[in-house]
């Protein structure tokens, strides 16, 4: 597109399933009501033997509501739930994919992929032998199959990608979709993420890292971003998909526009497998890059949906990064939400879920609360919208995602101004 005006990209559809509800609307309403999706784990046999016994599970999901029963048996849960989210997003947008399949793509992220299928296959191998494995074992496991199943189910024939960059993955999926449309490779992109990793290996593994909260006696209050008593994150399941669309394409078909996707920035820490960059320079660079891409300055930011995992190091680090980018004075004037207090940490799906919440903050004029924020932490001294949603006029929102290994990604969302 060199030498031409840069194509503008808007959001015209949203679909999601979280522990707060099996639709985007239910999830949003649960969030602004201050609910928590956490509860005892029901998906792992003998969970009472584990150090961590709770998570934010999807409740009541039936894949056959969205997928043929035979097909559903061929895929992992992480693929099942993102098909549901993608179909909801498609319906919400009103897009006719079949009319121009080669101009519609999909960019669907995951942090872990089909780990339940991996564990089930390994158990089968040990218990019943190699010749008892299903031929769908490998296709169920590999991380690209969430994206592939969305494409096959909805019939998209444009660009197709699957990001696997830990907890930054779905912000990168959204950013890659933005780039695909700007470059003219597609007019519409279904972008988001999916994670269904509440399995024995995942829960035990994250617990072994001391990454998870151990408040087994009080799950709904365990995820507490920015609170002085936070002790780790709570695992969450979710899938969320946004329909990104080139502006003139959306206008030509009379689409309802939620918001505009203004900018995207990425960087890497080159520091540690789990700990964030202690200087904050590289996460800050990703945010500054996203603002520059959007053509706006730090003073234009009205709201931030923070990565805010509820870990002692992570939340303090992100607070410092926000101050670096916005400056001390403006940083204290910009409200910041840590919505993982409600949904748990949805790993590779987190960025897409939080992008959805940032869009709704813009469209509804409501800031979602950071629940369970009861004890101020001196190292976390910004306005985190504690415990109760707040009305506000949001024109520009940031959504941060930072992943294990040093992946940093930020997107900028704005009110559509015509």
Active site residues: 167, 307, 345
Q: What is the pairing mode between strands 303-305 and 396-403?
A: parallel
The Cα–Cα gap between 153 and 384 comes to: 40
Counting Cβ atoms within 10 Å, is residue 254 exposed (0-12), middle (13-18) or buried (19+)? Answer: exposed
Which of 241, 306, 271, 289 lies closest to 407, judged by CA?
271
The Cα–Cα gap between 308 and 304 comes to: 11
The Cα–Cα gap between 64 and 70 comes to: 9
> How many contiguous H segments (helices) and E segments (strands) does the chain have?
14, 14
The Cα–Cα gap between 119 and 125 comes to: 10
The Cα–Cα gap between 14 and 23 comes to: 9
Which of 209, 208, 213, 211 lies closest to 229, judged by CA?
213
The Cα–Cα gap between 105 and 339 comes to: 29
The Cα–Cα gap between 321 and 317 comes to: 6
Which of 183, 248, 189, 263 lies closest to 1, judged by CA?
183
Q: Which helix (H) or strand (E) holds 384?
A: none
Angle at 239 between CA 235 and CA 240, to 5 degrees: 125
Contacts of 188 (CB under 8 A, 6+ apart): 95, 97, 103, 104, 105, 158, 181, 243, 244, 245, 246, 249
Helix, strand, coil: what percent of the chain each, to 5? 40, 20, 40
């Amino acid at each position: 597109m060199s030498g031409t005006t840069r194509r503008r990209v808007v959001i015209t559809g949203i679909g999601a399933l979280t522990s707060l509800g099996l639709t985007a609307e239910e999830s949003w309403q649960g969030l602004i009501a201050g609910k928590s999706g956490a509860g005892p784990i029901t998906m792992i046999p003998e969970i009472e033997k584990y150090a961590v016994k709770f998570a934010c599970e999807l409740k009541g999901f039936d894949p056959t509501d969205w997928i043929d029963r035979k097909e559903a048996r061929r895929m992992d849960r992480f693929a099942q739930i993102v098909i549901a989210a993608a179909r909801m997003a498609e319906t919400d947008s009103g897009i006719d994919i079949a009319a121009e399949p080669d101009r519609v793509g999909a960019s669907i992220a995951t942090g872990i992929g089909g780990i339940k299928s991996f564990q089930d296959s390994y158990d089968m191998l040990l218990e019943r032998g190699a010749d008892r494995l299903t031929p769908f074992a490998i296709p169920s496991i590999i991380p690209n199959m969430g994206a592939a199943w969305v494409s096959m189910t909805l019939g998209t024939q444009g660009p197709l990608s699957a990001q696997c960059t830990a907890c930054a993955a779905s912000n990168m999926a959204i950013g890659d979709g933005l780039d695909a449309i700007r470059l003219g490779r597609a007019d519409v992109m279904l972008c988001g993420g999916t994670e269904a990793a509440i399995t024995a290996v995942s829960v035990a593994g994250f617990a072994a890292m001391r990454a998870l909260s151990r408040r087994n006696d009080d799950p709904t209050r365990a995820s507490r971003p920015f609170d002085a008593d936070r002790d780790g994150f709570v695992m969450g399941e979710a899938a969320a998909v946004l329909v990104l669309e080139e502006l003139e394409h959306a206008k030509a078909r009379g689409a309802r526009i939620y918001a505009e996707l203004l900018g995207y920035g990425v960087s890497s820490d080159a520091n540690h497998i789990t700990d964030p960059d202690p200087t904050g320079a590289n996460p800050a660079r990703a945010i500054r890059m996203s603002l520059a891409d959007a053509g706006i300055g730090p003073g234009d930011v009205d709201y931030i949906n923070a990565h805010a995992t509820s870990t002692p190091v992570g939340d303090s680090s992100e607070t410092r990064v926000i101050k670096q980018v916005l400056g001390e004075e403006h940083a204290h004037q910009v409200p910041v939400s840590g919505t993982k207090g409600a949904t748990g940490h949805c790993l590779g799906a987190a960025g897409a879920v939080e992008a959805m919440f940032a869009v709704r903050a813009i469209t509804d004029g409501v800031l979602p609360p950071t629940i369970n924020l009861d004890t101020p932490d001196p190292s976390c001294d910004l306005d985190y919208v504690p415990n109760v949603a707040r009305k506000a006029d949001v024109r520009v929102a940031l959504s941060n995602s930072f992943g294990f290994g040093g992946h940093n990604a930020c997107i900028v969302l704005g009110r559509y101004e015509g």
